[in-house]
Chain A
Amino acid sequence: MIEVKNLHKSFSGEEILKGIDFVFEAGKTNLIIGQSGSGKSVLLKCMLGLFKPENGSIEYDGKAYSSFTDEEQRELRKEVGMLFQGGALFDSMTVEENVMFPLRMFTKQRKRELKARVAEVLKRVNLDGSENKYPAEISGGMQKRVAIARAIVNKPKYLFCDEPNSGLDPTTATVIDNLIQELTRENNITTVIITHDMNSVLEIGENIAFLKDGVLAWKGDKSQIFKTDDKTVTDFVYSSDLFKKVRDAQIKEIN
């Protein structure tokens, strides 16, 4: 579980996060949604320790990140998996080497054990047989799955995903969404996802934070998002006619 309390962050005097309070629950897919510039990425980077907030705290399982010693921060980072928007795979390494990278850096396992764990994880993301390919030789969807495999190979407690579906076709996007949700449940991971994809919100939004202008404007889950009358949320989520129709149909179904 990650708890964000009264988080403030400014850049060049401009306040980007204006006192965010939110609990990201373990074993659930926690989504951060909001328009561009609403502070989603800044919040994520604060949680990852890449930005230092001016005020407030971020607690990992009840312990404030700011109180961690350098050693504790390093240990925490070993428990963090991150899926970047573009995958951020190392171009010079094969799929197997990419997935093996965190294990090589932080464990003392023998090569045979490393290979076995990598094979296990690649099989889990349906990429067995792609070990010797380079990132440039595989599709965008496969790159995302390799990135997921690399993020979970060390059995992280916390998984952060920055727009995991960007640049993917709807079918592949659904595959990625479902994979992240399954892995979250299987391993009781605290998963935090930034997304603009309304399909993801409606599919896997178990705990949603909606940010607007650096403020937590709404929170709830995918069923609540259908019912809410909060105009800021409905304007964002149901900005297209299609989603408005989906919403009406869903409300009818719920009632």
Chain B
Amino acid sequence: MSYIHSIGEYFLMIKGVFGRMTKRSVLRELIFKEINELIIGSLGIVAFISFFIGGVVAIQTALNLNNPLIPKTLIAFAARQSIILEFAPTFISIIMAGKVGSFITSSIGSMRVTEQIDALEVMGINSLNYLIFPKIIAMLTYPFVIAISMFLGIVGAYAAAVLGGFVGSDLFLTGLQDGFEGFHIVYAFIKTFVFAMILATIPAYHGYYMKGGALEVGHASTTSFVWTSVVIIITNYVITQLLLS
């Protein structure tokens, strides 16, 4: 019953976010601040993870290609497909649920605990719009992060495969272009867009409606990470079923 209540409360929150808008000049500043904190601030970790996971995917594929009938171009093909279809959009989003999601929950939760949200409400400000709308808009630039992740993942795969001596540069580049379907990119970015909305709103929900003190802020962050991850994984399945099968 409480799950149904929470789901209803979540959608009412979304309605509230798009209710009475905050002053435009203030919103603009908040959006840039959120882009800086949520997006730019995540580029380092995303770049680092993408490069090395790309390399690991290439090495593992190469090490498992024992059959001489299977062409070496498959290393690049497999790396490209796994990075574009799953690793960059889904795996990075789960990481972002930990990084960005926890940040959103704890920052909004701390504001709840210290009555800062009450202060906004008393002033007649739509606190949902003030706090969550800029995060949603900032997360619209999330596909940019995923594009970088895809690129660096493939660069990592190239570096590991070619510099590791598993395949020649020409063969890798040929494999990279083999059987390329543009729709896979579209599919990946549709997923990314949906995940961005999940990443902005579910942690915000857990922060905004939390009750208690500092200890509960930590608890809310953990719960937020778990639920954001669960929803991302279920949504991933549904979108994949709808768009690719």
Residue positions of A touching B, CB distance < 8 A: 48, 50, 73-74, 76-78, 80, 82, 84-86, 88-91, 101-102, 104-106, 160
Contact = CB atoms under 8 A, between A and B. Distances in A.
B26 A85 contact: no
Nearest to A77: B124
B interface, by DSSP: helix, strand, loop or mixed? helix
B12 interface: no
Interface stretch (B74-82, B113-121, B133-141): B113-121
Given A74-B124, A77-B124, A88-B114, A104 B26 contact: yes
Interface of B: 22-23, 25-26, 110-111, 114-116, 118-119, 121-125
A88 B118 contact: yes
B216 to A, nearest CB: 16
Most interface-central of B25, B110, B125 (chain A CB within 10 A):
B125
Contacts of A89: 116
A106 B26 CA distance: 11
B122 A50 contact: yes
Contact of B26 (A50, A76, A84, A105): A105
Given A74-B124, A105-B23, A88 B119 contact: yes
Nearest to B122: A82
A51 to B, nearest CB: 12
Given A104-B23, A105-B26, A88 B123 contact: no
Nearest to A147: B119
A48 B122 contact: yes
B124 A88 contact: no
Contacts of B22: 105
A77 B23 contact: no
A88 B122 CA distance: 11
B121 A90 contact: no
Nearest to B119: A88
Contacts, number: 49
A82 B124 CA distance: 11
Contacts of A78: 123-124
B115 A88 contact: yes
A86 B114 contact: yes
A50 B118 contact: yes
B26 A88 contact: no
B66 to A, nearest CB: 56
A78 B117 CA distance: 16
Contact of B121 (A50, A102, A104): A50
Given A48-B122, A78-B124, A88-B115, 4 more contacts: A50-B121, A86-B115, A88-B114, A104-B25
Given A104-B23, A104-B26, A105-B26, A90 B116 contact: yes
A38 to B, nearest CB: 20
Given A86-B114, A90-B116, A105 B122 contact: no
B26 A80 contact: no
A84 B110 CA distance: 15
A91 B125 CA distance: 18
19 contacts: A48-B122, A73-B124, A77-B124, A80-B123, A80-B124, A82-B122, A82-B123, A84-B118, A85-B115, A86-B115, A88-B116, A88-B118, A91-B110, A104-B25, A104-B26, A105-B26, A105-B125, A106-B124, A160-B122
Contacts of A91: 110, 114, 116
Contacts of B110: 91
A46 to B, nearest CB: 13
Given A91-B110, A104-B23, A105-B26, A80 B122 contact: yes
B104 to A, nearest CB: 14
Contacts of A84: 115, 118-119
Contacts of A48: 122
A151 to B, nearest CB: 9
B28 to A, nearest CB: 12
Contacts of B115: 84-86, 88
A82 B119 contact: yes
Nearest to A50: B121
Considering the complex of A and B, which 5 residue pairs feature the smallest CB-CB distances, nearest first? A77-B124, A88-B115, A88-B119, A82-B122, A84-B115
